[in-house]
Amino acid sequence: MKLLLLSDIHSNVRYLEEILKKVDFDLLLIAGDLTHFRKQDVISIDEIVSKYAPECYAVHGNCDNAEILNYGLNGISFIHGKSLELGEITVHGIGGSLTTPFGTPSEYTEKDYEEILKNFRFSDFNILVTHCPAKGILDRTKYGENIGSEAIRGHLKNFQIVLSGHVHESFGVLKDERVAVNPGPVNWGRFAILDLGKMEVELRQL
């Protein structure tokens, strides 16, 4: 099974469509910031996803208005605060980010994240889709600051795969007890492909 991992589209529908046309995949996961503050942009994003993706699950990012979670979309299913069983895997979602200096639309506290995390329903194989990274895991900004979540870090033991975004410049893959991926922003033409059978990740760019 091949998973296409995306994050931080920021309304760049041209790059999104180029990626979806280029890659063969079975499941699409999006780790937030689909839009760049314009909530109506999610409609055109959904149209493109509906055209190319067999199945798509996403969380919202801090630049997405949480109202988009309630839109009646055709291709994208939002999973913020949810655990979703997909055959032998379970996908869990955490949207938004911790508080930023910029007052973005969807910001949460560590307490909010802790409440979500402790209510997840786990199986034998679990994937976390989170916009905000775990503290110290692909979360270093260009200023050298680690801005990830302590709450998420504290629950990493429950996940075999962690997909995050938010920190554009911290794209990469970390493999230890689990596989952590920040594919980089779609807005920069970046994406990742995960071969679930081999547990191998390929970072790519248009």
Say what the pLDDT of residue 98 is: 99
**Distance spanning both ends of the chain, measured CA to CA:** 22
Name the residue ranges covered by the structural domains of the chain.
2-205
Nearest residue to 186 (alpha-carbon basis) of 14, 15, 63: 15
pLDDT per residue as tens digits for the range 89-143: 999 999 999 999 999 999 999 999 999 999 999 999 999 999 999 999 999 999 9
Name the amino acid, one letter, at 173. V
pTM (predicted TM-score): 0.98
pLDDT per residue as tens digits for the range 38-85: 999 999 999 999 999 999 999 999 999 999 999 999 999 999 999 999
Nearest residue to 10 (alpha-carbon basis) of 104, 93, 91: 104
For the domain made up of 2-205, give the CATH fold.
Purple Acid Phosphatase; chain A, domain 2 (3.60.21)
The DSSP bridge pattern shows strands 161-163 and 179-182 to be parallel
Of the pLDDT bands very low, low, confident and very high (cuts 50, 70, 90), residue 178 is very high
Say what the pLDDT of residue 152 is: 99
